[in-house]
C-alpha cells in the first residue's frame, strides 16, 4: 500500500531519513521509489561520511555529458543542493589516482567539446601537472553543475589546506604551481578553483538560493567572499573563520544584505589582533549585526578581541536570540554590561568559556554574575556553561542559585570552599537537570573536597540526571567508590579526570565492580593518560537498562 503513495508523501518520508544506507535500500523498491529516492541521494553526494571508494563512482557520472550521444537515466547535476568543495577536490584527486586512464580520456573529450567555455580550449594539458589537471576537472564539474541549473543551498569552502598540502607534496613537489589560461586568468592554489568559477555567469544562479555558508580560514581579502556577498541574499546560517583585519569589508557587506540570517558563527584566527585597526574592524562587523538583529537566533564567537566598549550594544535588539556562545575572547567590562542589560526573553543556551575582560584579576567581582542577575535571561536558561580558570566565582553561583530554575545542562567550576553549599542549592532548584559538569583548576584555586562533600554531592543529584562529569574533584579510589555507592540516579555516562599520580586501573576496577553489583552493563569505556595536562581521563557509558543483558 505504501508503494502507491503520491510523490509528495514519499518525498516527505525521505526528507526525514538521515541514514544513507536506508536510502540506498529504498531505491530498490520500485520505479516510483527509485525516482524519489535518487533525489535525496544526490542532494549531498560530496559529504564526508561516505566511503571514498564509493564516492569516486560519482565522477564519471558527472562527466558523462562529455560523451556525446550517451544519456544518464537522471539529470544528476541539477539534483545537487549541497557542495563541500574540499571533499569534491579530494574525490576527484582519488579518482584520477585510481582511474588514471579514464581520467585522461575525459580530459581529451573536454578539449574537443566546442560547447564548453573558451577557458577549457587549447589548454595543452600535457604541459600541466597532475595537480593542475585535477584542478581543471573540478572547475569543469562546477561549471557543468551550474549549466544544468543546480541550485546550491549548502556550501562549504575551507582554506586550511590539511589535505591539499599533502597532495601537493606527494604529487607536485618539483612542479610550478602557477598556470596561465588562454583568457588571461592566472591560477595558483586550490582555492582559486572557486575564484575562477565565480567569473562564470552561471555561478550567479548557482548560489542565488544559498542558505548555508561555511568559510574556513579566509585571509587577504579573498575575492570569493566579496563575490558571494553580491550574490547571496537568502542566507540563514553563516560560519566564518578568518583574519578579520582583511576580510571585514566583504563580511560586513554579506551580513547587511541578509534579511533572515538566523545562525552566525565568527571564529578569529589566533594572533591576528594587535594592530590599531583590528578593534575598529571588529566593531564595524558587530555594528552590522544590527541589520539582522530581528532574525538572529544563534550567535557564536571565538578568538575575538572586543575591547571597544560599544561592540555589544546591538545585542539588546536581538529579541529572538536563543543561543549565545563566547569562547577564548577578550571582552571589555563595558561589553559584559551590555550583555547583562540586554532583554533576551528567548535565550535558552548561554556558554561563556575562557574569556577575559581585561580588568585586574585582584578585583572582587566576576563580570559574568551581572548577566545571571538579569532575570529575563536567567529564568529561561536550559543550558548554562561557565568556565574560566583565571576568574574566581565570587557571587556568581549565588546569582545562578537565585535565578535559574529550568537548567537541563549545567557546567561550572568551583573556586572556593563557599561555592560548595551554593552548588547544592543550584542542584535542589533545578529538578529537570540531566547533565552536570564540575571542574576544579587546582593550579589556580584551592578547594577542599572531603569524603562528606563527595557523599553529599552524590545524594544531591536531581533524579533526572544521567550524565556526570567531574574534573579533579575525585582524588582517590575511595572517593570514587563513595560517589558511586551514594548515587541513586540512573547514570548513563560518567566521565572523571583524576591526577596523573592515581592508578587508573584501580579506578576502572572500582567502576566495573560497582557496575556489576548494581546490575549495570558497561557498553563503552576508555581510560587514558594525558601527560601534557598531568592527568588521567576515564569515560564510562552504561546501557540505559539497569539489568544486565
- For residue 169, the model assigns a pLDDT of 42
Measured distance CA(72)–CA(427) in Å, rounded: 61
The three three-digit cell numbers of residue 40, written as one number: 535525496
- Residue stretches of the chain with pLDDT short of 70: 1-37, 68-72, 111, 114-129, 159-193, 218-223, 269-277, 358-363, 545-549
Does this model's pTM top 0.85? My answer is yes
Measured distance CA(139)–CA(89) in Å, rounded: 10
What average pLDDT does the chain have?
83
Measured distance CA(340)–CA(372) in Å, rounded: 7
- For residue 189, the model assigns a pLDDT of 44
Annotate 134-197 with DSSP letters as a single string: HHHHHHHHHHHHHHTT---SEEEEE---HHHHHHHHHH-TTS---EE-TTS-EE-STTHHHHHH
Angstrom CA distances, 223 to 151, 219, 270, 272, stand at: 21, 10, 22, 20
- For residue 340, the model assigns a pLDDT of 96
CATH topology of domain 467-549: Translation Initiation Factor IF3 (3.30.110)
- For cell 575525585, name the residue: 474
- For residue 61, the model assigns a pLDDT of 86
- For residue 105, the model assigns a pLDDT of 80
pLDDT digit string, tens, across residues 178-201: 444 433 334 444 445 677 788 777
pLDDT digit string, tens, across residues 51-78: 888 889 888 888 887 776 666 677 888 9
Residues 6+ apart with CB under 8 A from 541: 492, 493, 522, 523, 524, 525
pLDDT digit string, tens, across residues 277-299: 688 889 999 999 999 999 999 99
- For residue 168, the model assigns a pLDDT of 44
Judge whether 419 and 393 are in contact, CB under 8 Å: yes
- For residue 106, the model assigns a pLDDT of 78
Residues 6+ apart with CB under 8 A from 372: 378, 396, 399, 400, 403, 404
Amino acid at each position: 500500500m505504501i508503494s502507491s503513495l503520491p510523490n509528495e508523501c514519499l518525498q516527505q518520508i525521505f526528507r526525514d531519513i538521515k541514514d544513507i544506507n536506508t536510502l540506498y535500500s529504498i531505491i530498490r523498491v520500485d520505479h516510483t521509489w527509485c525516482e524519489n529516492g535518487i533525489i535525496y541521494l544526490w542532494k549531498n553526494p560530496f559529504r564526508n561520511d561516505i566511503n571514498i571508494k564509493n564516492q569516486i563512482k560519482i565522477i564519471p557520472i558527472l562527466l558523462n555529458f562529455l560523451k556525446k550521444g550517451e544519456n544518464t537515466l537522471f539529470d544528476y547535476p541539477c539534483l545537487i543542493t549541497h557542495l563541500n568543495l574540499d571533499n569534491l577536490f579530494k574525490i576527484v584527486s582519488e579518482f584520477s589516482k585510481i582511474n588514471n586512464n579514464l581520467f585522461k580520456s575525459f580530459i581529451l573529450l573536454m578539449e574537443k567539446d566546442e560547447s564548453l567555455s573558451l577557458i577549457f580550449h587549447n589548454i595543452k594539458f600535457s604541459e600541466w601537472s597532475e595537480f593542475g589537471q585535477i584542478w581543471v576537472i573540478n572547475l569543469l564539474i562546477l561549471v557543468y553543475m551550474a549549466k544544468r541549473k543546480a541550485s546550491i543551498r549548502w556550501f562549504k569552502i575551507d582554506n586550511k589546506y590539511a589535505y591539499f598540502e599533502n597532495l601537493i607534496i606527494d604529487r607536485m613537489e618539483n612542479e610550478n604551481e602557477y598556470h596561465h589560461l588562454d583568457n588571461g586568468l592566472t591560477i595558483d592554489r586550490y582555492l582559486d578553483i572557486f575564484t575562477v568559477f565565480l567569473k562564470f555567469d552561471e555561478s550567479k544562479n548557482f548560489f542565488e538560493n544559498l542558505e548555508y555558508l561555511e568559510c574556513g580560514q579566509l585571509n587577504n581579502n579573498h575575492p570569493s567572499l566579496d563575490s558571494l556577498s553580491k550574490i547571496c541574499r537568502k542566507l540563514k546560517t553563516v560560519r566564518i573563520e578568518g583574519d578579520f583585519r582583511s576580510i571585514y569589508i566583504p563580511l560586513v557587506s554579506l551580513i547587511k544584505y541578509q534579511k533572515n540570517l538566523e545562525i552566525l558563527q565568527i571564529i578569529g584566527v589566533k594572533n591576528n589582533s594587535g594592530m590599531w585597526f583590528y578593534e575598529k574592524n571588529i566593531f564595524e562587523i558587530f555594528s552590522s549585526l544590527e541589520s539582522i538583529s530581528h532574525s538572529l537566533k544563534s550567535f557564536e564567537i571565538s578568538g575575538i578581541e572586543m575591547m571597544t566598549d560599544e561592540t555589544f550594544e546591538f545585542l539588546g535588539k536581538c529579541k529572538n536570540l536563543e543561543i549565545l556562545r563566547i569562547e577564548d575572547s577578550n571582552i571589555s567590562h563595558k561589553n559584559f554590561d551590555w550583555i547583562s542589560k540586554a532583554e533576551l526573553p528567548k535565550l535558552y543556551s548561554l556558554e561563556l568559556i575562557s574569556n577575559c575582560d581585561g580588568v585586574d584579576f585582584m578585583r572582587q567581582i566576576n563580570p559574568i554574575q551581572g548577566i545571571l542577575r538579569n532575570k529575563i535571561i536567567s529564568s529561561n536558561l536550559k543550558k548554562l556553561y561557565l568556565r574560566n580558570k583565571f576568574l574566581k566565582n565570587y557571587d556568581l553561583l549565588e546569582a545562578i542559585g537565585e535565578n535559574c530554575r529550568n537548567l537541563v545542562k549545567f557546567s561550572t567550576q568551583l573556586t572556593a570552599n563557599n561555592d560548595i553549599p551554593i552548588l547544592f542549592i543550584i542542584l535542589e532548584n533545578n529538578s529537570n537537570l540531566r547533565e552536570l559538569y564540575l571542574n576544579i583548576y587546582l593550579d589556580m584555586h584551592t578547594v577542599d573536597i572531603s569524603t562528606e562533600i563527595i557523599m553529599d554531592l552524590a545524594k544531591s543529584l536531581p533524579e533526572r540526571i544521567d550524565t556526570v562529569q567531574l574534573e579533579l574533584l575525585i582524588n582517590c579510589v575511595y572517593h570514587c567508590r563513595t560517589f558511586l555507592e551514594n548515587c541513586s540516579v540512573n547514570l548513563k555516562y560518567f566521565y572523571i579526570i583524576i591526577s596523573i599520580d592515581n592508578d587508573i586501573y584501580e579506578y576502572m576496577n572500582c567502576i566495573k565492580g560497582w557496575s556489576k553489583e548494581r546490575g549495570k552493563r558497561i557498553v563503552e569505556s576508555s581510560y587514558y593518560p594525558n601527560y601534557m595536562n598531568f592527568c588521567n581521563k576515564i569515560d564510562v557509558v552504561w546501557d540505559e537498562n539497569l539489568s544486565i543483558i
